[in-house]
Amino acid sequence: MTEDIWRWGATEARDRMRAGDVSCTEVVSASLARIAEDNPSLNAFLTICPERALAEARASDSRRRAGEPLRPLEGVPFAVKDLTDTAGVRTTSGSLAFADRIPEADELCVARLRAAGAILVGKTNTPEFGFGPRSGNRLRGPTANPYDLGRSAGGSSGGSAAALAAGLVPLAHGSDFGGSVRTPASFCGIAGLRPTPGLIPSTSKRLAWNALSTHGAMARSAGDAELMLSVMAGYDPRDPLSRPGAPASSPIGEAAVDRLRIGYSADLGVAPMAREVRLAFAGATAALAQRFGAMEEAAPDCAGAIEAFAALRAAVVRHQYGPMVAEPRGDFSPALVWNSRQGEGLTAARLMEAEEDRSRVYTSFMRFFERYDVLITPAAAVSPFPVEGGDILEIDGVGLDGPLAYLAITFIVSLIGLPCLSLPAGSFESGCPFGLQIIAPPNREDRLLALARRLESDPRFRHRWPAAPAGAARTS
């Protein structure tokens, strides 16, 4: 092959393999070679499994030669965030306490990807148990942004986002609690989809009815993210949030996309937002208006949403991690310890107040969607920050209300369980990407994806390759 196979997206790689233009072994080898070249500077992967991946690639080639039915993702390499279990492959959650843990079973979404023929090449970097603005831990340094190694890929799915942006893999799994798919997707200029909770079921949740966190699909295009979602989604009775029936499969026609009623807001009325993000957002919405005509600046009433999310998140984190952190021999990151302690002293009355505020904000969004089909905001409140450093405690010199406040633009959407997609929308002066967050009513992933596919016809709204190889010298 004279082309760079690693540049292919998932759909192109699959189709080229089906056409016989290239073998699965060649595709997987190209991914592994790219990882070997660039991971030392990016820190995108915590664990790589080349022998296993190549063995599966050879088996896939044998299936194809034997004329066996080809599966939806036959031979396509993918990566999984290291918070999620993978059978036989080390899963550390970014923690020294689990440095040698090897699960016996795949998480359901991973099992579905593998059953569809996708080939796992490794586990991507994340802060310990997903807590922290940067995707790094004491097992592996922080993940660098492929567009500027002095800046961060974001957290907590930053390893997956960086791996995609630099061409290490064509598909990557992420998970999203308060913005952990969307922030890294924005920082790295890729597509990051957080679906309606339950669309990608999970059978391993300790709190089965918890809808604040969900698995997500990450790729360099909305079409590839949709392909990945179609494999991971589907009913499973072991998850009470899962629903019967397949995911919506883009019934929206091209003409209907042009008629979408679009509302937009830089901050949802309550979220802190950097000046450079507001400027980038103004430029992006101006470009959108040229394509879709009149759009309206509008937002639901989000009063109380920030406080409600903080309380409910604190209760979940305290329940899940508090006992582990309290163990005498525990050796955990300050971020995990801080997060696990936020739920101390929470009363039942406060939690019910938070649920009431959550219900009111949800109702406000549903009223908003009676008038508009989608809502567009920035996908992150700040541009990519330095790869090394602590919590994000101020924006433009103004102090924030704690280390979670900069995520308000994304966690408000998590709070009420709406599907949303981060999509590239240009760049900052630094050269790092800027992303939009597109939000739709529950179960309307089709609407998000139809709009995203239309936008990607414009180079401004699709992934662009870093100006230099990820291993090249850059300055921030």
249 catalytic, yes or no?
no
- Please give the Cα distance from 428 to 188 (Å, whole number): 12
175 catalytic, yes or no?
no
CB 415 within 8 A of CB 363: no
Measured CA distances, 252 to 165, 399, 449, 464 (Å): 28, 43, 9, 27
- Please give the Cα distance from 236 to 174 (Å, whole number): 20
Select from 345, 337, 280 the least CA-distant residue to 315: 345
Select from 154, 147, 182, 42 the least CA-distant residue to 427: 147
Which residue of the set 29, 60, 156, 340 is catalytic?
Answer: 156
State phi, psi for 224 to the nearest 5 degrees.
Answer: -70, -35
Select from 423, 339, 411 the least CA-distant residue to 374: 423
Residue 421 buriedness (CB in 10 A; 0-12 / 13-18 / 19+):
buried
Select from 127, 35, 142 the least CA-distant residue to 82: 127
Which residue of the set 60, 95, 180, 186 is catalytic?
Answer: 180
State phi, psi for 370 to the nearest 5 degrees.
Answer: -75, -25
Which residue of the set 29, 31, 60, 81 is catalytic?
Answer: 81
| Cβ neighbours of residue 42 closer than 8 Å, sequence gap 6 or more | 143, 144, 146, 149, 153, 162, 163, 166, 168, 470
Q: Strand pairing of 171-176 and 374-378?
A: unpaired
Helices 348-371 + 408-416 axis angle, to 10: 90
180 catalytic, yes or no?
yes
Can you tell me whether residue 107 is helix, strand or coil? Answer: coil
Tokens of 168: 């290490």
What amino acid positions are annotated as catalytic residues? Answer: 81, 156, 180
